[in-house]
Structure 1
Amino acid sequence: MTVRAVRGAIQLDQDERGEMLDSVKTLFKEMLDANGLGQDDLISVIFTATQDLHSVFPAVAARELGLTDVPLMCAQELSIEGALPRVVRILVHAECERPKCEIRHVYLGGAAALRTDLAGAGLAGAGGVR
């Protein structure tokens, strides 16, 4: 089995616990669905959040989805002038037979602006850039 990395990001409207949990759950499910992954395929997950998000750890959303046997880690995103605010990023490491060129990265809401290169490649989806 090959190990692949899947990226995703979502921009929140506000730093509120409920919005954080709902947004991260939506993004996480989209990432798994877009790549045909199940929880048993997951090796580890890294979450980052911009400095303006501090209502709850993004990993709590994954635990609420039942992810109890996968290592999860949260970190703070670099604070770069002009960076998009209120963004949670996810990096999933998974066992997957898909070639790299078939991995779908998911960028929802305002976070689609982070990967305009993917939109130009014809990878825009209804939920955001993939």
Structure 2
Amino acid sequence: MIRGIRGATTVQANQAEEIIKETKKMVEKMVEVNQVKPEDIASVLISVTPDLNATFPAKALRLIDGWKYVPVMCMPEINVPGSLAQCIRVMMTVNTSLNQEEVEHIYLNEAIKLRPDLLGKD
């Protein structure tokens, strides 16, 4: 079955090192809790808010062992007034045997505000 796994995080500053560090941390958590292997991944879409342009967050995924051939694309997030700033969002499309309600979406740092209804799900 093909499923989408969501992830989001924020950074404190528009700095390449922090963007890469926080993106890698989020994606590694997404694959860990959902038991995803690189060969299970169809593609990964990453969006960033307009205030983040120091680097492509997709570079973080190239630091993960076995991810050389995983298709990744970055894009800007819609600039909605009052929305969460300095935010990196991920949509990972994977092949999995998990039921939709079993998929664990990962929200870190200030991004926990985005989907409080999904937090605390065991």
Which whole-Å CA distance do the structure 2 matches of 1:26 and 1:82 have between them? Answer: 26
Give the Cα separation in 2 of the matches to 1:96 and 1:58: 24
**Aligned residues between the structures:** 121
CA offset at residue 80 of structure 1?
0.5
Distance in 1 of aligned mates of 2:116 and 2:70:
31
Q: Does 1:123 align with 2:121?
A: yes
Question: What residue ranges of structure 1 are gaps of 5+ in the alignment?
Answer: 125-130
Most deviating of 5-14 and 32-41: 32-41
TM-score (norm 2): 0.95
RMSD over aligned CA atoms reads: 1.1
- The superposition leaves residues 24-52 of structure 1 with CA deviations (integer Å, 9 ceiling, x where unpaired) of 00000000011011112111000000000
- Aligned equivalents of 1:26, 1:65: Cα separation in 2: 10
Aligned position for 1:31: 30
Equivalences for residues 1-130 of structure 1 within 5 A: 2-66=1-65, 67-119=67-119, 122-123=120-121
Q: In the TM superposition, what is the alpha-carbon distance from 1:123 to its structure 2 partner? A: 2.1
Name the SS of the counterpart of 1:36 in structure 2.
Answer: coil
Gaps of 5+ in 2: none
Deviation per CA, 1:73-122: give whole Å up to 9, x if none: 11100001100100000000111001101000000010000112223xx3
Q: Of the two structures, which has the highest relative contact order with CA contacts closer than 8 Å and spacing of 6 or more?
A: 2
Using the aligned pairs only, state the percent identity.
31
Looking at structure 1, the residues matched to 19 and 36 of structure 2 have their Cα atoms a distance apart, in angstroms, of 22
Tell me the distance in 1 between the aligned counterparts of 2:117 and 2:64.
31
The TM-score with structure 1 as length reference comes to 0.89
Deviant stretches of 4+, over 6 Å: none
For the residue of structure 2 that corresponds to 1:25, the secondary structure is helix
